[in-house]
């Protein structure tokens, strides 16, 4: 098997399929679809608006956001979304992706579930920011699964057999026919993710009747062709933000914690880190441990808790309300207790990045589920 020349593990790392979340891996001649992962092009976009945070009605804006933007697994947009990336999918170099055009059209500008969000922030000068985190939705997921199936000798439309979380990486020779097809398909999925985040932020700016005064936008699930230590590599970042000198990145904390705008700096440590930094705080509790088990009751059309988790979601919501945070959606698996402290995590990256802005959350919107919990009094 081909070997990587360099590997980096960022301080927000946790278990991921085939490679840890928070990993950075440099291959001289290979690309890794399992390293990039299923959510190709997942990333963060933050926009500083021309508004002061205190000038807006935060509860009303958060209500408008969840009425306008679709959150959740498999959701489609509530209104038609157009972008030139759709024409690129229609004529994709990798022909099987063309058959995903309908899905891409329906889901462009939707946010998805898990830790994906739309947030409002106030910075240290009282200015209002909009921040979003999500990726390439079903288009990217089907692209990833298609190539993983092809790596097993199947067709793009097959389901990969997969393996354990500790499965060895799936690697393609970068200059092979399959490797070149994956690179083109990955780049298109990344462009789609980029377009989706831009669409969501533009729509929210329209709700706010304002414009973008500054923009910070990065992928953190992607592979780039880069120069390091005098050699060219395919650098796979799985849940890691590129942070070259002068490059800014938006890194989200927990739903109640302070997020940051970072800027890469030149140093020996940053070179050794392949100019990479964290993409978030990093999980310490699995979703199941945090939230417990639940099943969907089709008759009642709701989730029913079948075993308790360690997070009391009602207590968390009450604490966030006391903090002054307007929360829409969310669940116990995304509670602050499920994550590390972002400032503690960033301390391990001292000398590689500097903090440009600290963003205090004032509104959080994400997918959620109403759960009937028989374990509560």
Give mean pLDDT, residues 153-161: 94
pLDDT, one tens digit per residue, over 60-80 is 999 999 999 999 887 788 888
- pLDDT in the model for residue 225: 98
Give mean pLDDT, residues 131-153: 97
- pLDDT in the model for residue 296: 81
pLDDT at 373 over 60: no
What are φ and ψ of residue 43, in 5° steps? -170, -175
SS3 track for the chain: CCCCCEEEEEEEEECCCCCCEEEEEEECCEECHHHHCCCCCCEEEEEEEEEEHHHCCHHHHHHHHHHHCCCCCCCCCCCCCCCCHHHHHHCCCCHHHHHHHHHHHHHCCCCCCCCCEEEEEECCCCEEEEEEEECCHHHHHHHHHHHHHHHCCCCCCCCCCCCCCCCCCCCEECCCHHHHHHHHHHHHHHHHHHHHHHHHHHHHHHHHCCCEEEEEEEECEEEEEEEECCEEEEEEEECEEECCECCEEEECCCCCCCEEEEEECCCHHHHHCCCEEECCCCECCCHHHHHCEEEEECCCCEEEEEECCCCCHHHHHHHHHHCCCEEEEECHHHCHHHECCHHHHHHCCECCEEEEEEEEEEEEEEEECCEECCCCC
Q: CA separation (Å) from 132 to 175, 199, 204, 208, 364?
A: 34, 11, 11, 15, 10
Residues 6+ apart with CB under 8 A from 126: 52, 53, 54
pLDDT, one tens digit per residue, over 333-344 is 999 999 999 999
**CATH code of domain 6-372:** 3.90.1860.10
CB 120 within 8 A of CB 62: yes
Q: If 0-12 CB within 10 Å is exposed, 13-18 middle and 19+ buried, where does residue 205 land?
A: middle
- pLDDT in the model for residue 370: 56
- pLDDT in the model for residue 227: 98
pLDDT, one tens digit per residue, over 261-295 is 999 999 999 999 999 999 999 999 999 999 998 88
- pLDDT in the model for residue 74: 79
CA distance 108 to 188: 13
Residue whose entry in the numeric block shows the structure tokens 């945090």: 290
- pLDDT in the model for residue 276: 98
**For the ranges 39-53, 290-304, 328-342, which has the lowest average pLDDT?**
290-304
- pLDDT in the model for residue 75: 78
- pLDDT in the model for residue 157: 96
Instruction: Give the confidence band of 377 by pLDDT, cuts at 50, 70, 90.
Output: very low
pLDDT, one tens digit per residue, over 202-258 is 999 999 999 999 999 999 999 999 999 999 999 999 999 999 999 999 999 999 999
Instruction: Give the confidence band of 1 by pLDDT, cuts at 50, 70, 90.
Output: low
Strands 231-238 and 30-31: unpaired
- pLDDT in the model for residue 206: 97
């Amino acid at each position: 098997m081909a070997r990587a020349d360099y590997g980096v593990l960022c301080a927000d790392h946790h278990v991921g399929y085939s490679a840890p979340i928070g990993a950075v891996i440099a291959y001289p001649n290979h690309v890794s679809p399992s390293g990039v992962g299923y959510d190709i092009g997942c990333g963060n976009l933050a926009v500083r608006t021309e508004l002061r945070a205190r000038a807006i009605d935060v509860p009303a804006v958060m209500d408008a956001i969840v009425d306008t933007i679709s959150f959740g697994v498999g959701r489609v947009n509530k209104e038609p979304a157009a972008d030139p990336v759709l024409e690129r999918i229609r004529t994709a170099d990798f022909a099987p992706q063309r058959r995903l055009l309908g899905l891409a059209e329906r889901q462009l500008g939707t946010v998805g579930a898990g830790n994906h969000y739309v947030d409002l922030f106030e910075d240290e000068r009282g200015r209002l920011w909009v921040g979003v985190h999500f990726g390439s939705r079903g288009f990217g997921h089907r692209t990833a699964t298609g190539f993983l199936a092809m790596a097993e000798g199947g067709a793009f439309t097959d389901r990969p057999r997969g393996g354990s979380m500790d499965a060895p990486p799936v690697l393609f020779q970068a200059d092979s026919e399959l490797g070149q097809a994956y690179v083109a398909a990955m780049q298109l999925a990344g462009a789609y993710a980029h377009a989706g985040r831009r669409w969501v932020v533009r729509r929210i700016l329209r709700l706010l009747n304002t414009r973008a005064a500054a923009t910070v936008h990065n992928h953190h699930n992607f592979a780039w062709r880069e120069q390091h230590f005098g050699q060219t590599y395919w650098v796979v970042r799985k849940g890691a933000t590129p942070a070259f000198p002068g490059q800014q990145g938006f890194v989200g904390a927990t739903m109640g914690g302070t997020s940051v705008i970072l800027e890469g700096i030149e140093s020996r440590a940053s070179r050794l880190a392949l100019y990479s930094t964290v993409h978030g705080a990093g999980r310490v509790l699995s979703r199941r441990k945090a939230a417990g088990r639940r099943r969907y009751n089709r008759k009642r059309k709701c989730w029913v808790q079948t075993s308790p988790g360690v997070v009391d979601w009602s207590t968390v919501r009450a604490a966030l309300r006391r903090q002054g945070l307007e929360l829409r959606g969310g669940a116990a698996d995304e509670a602050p207790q499920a994550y590390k402290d972002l400032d503690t995590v960033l301390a391990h990256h001292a000398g590689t990045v500097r903090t440009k802005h600290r963003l205090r959350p004032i509104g959080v919107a994400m997918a959620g589920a109403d759960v009937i919990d028989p374990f509560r009094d």
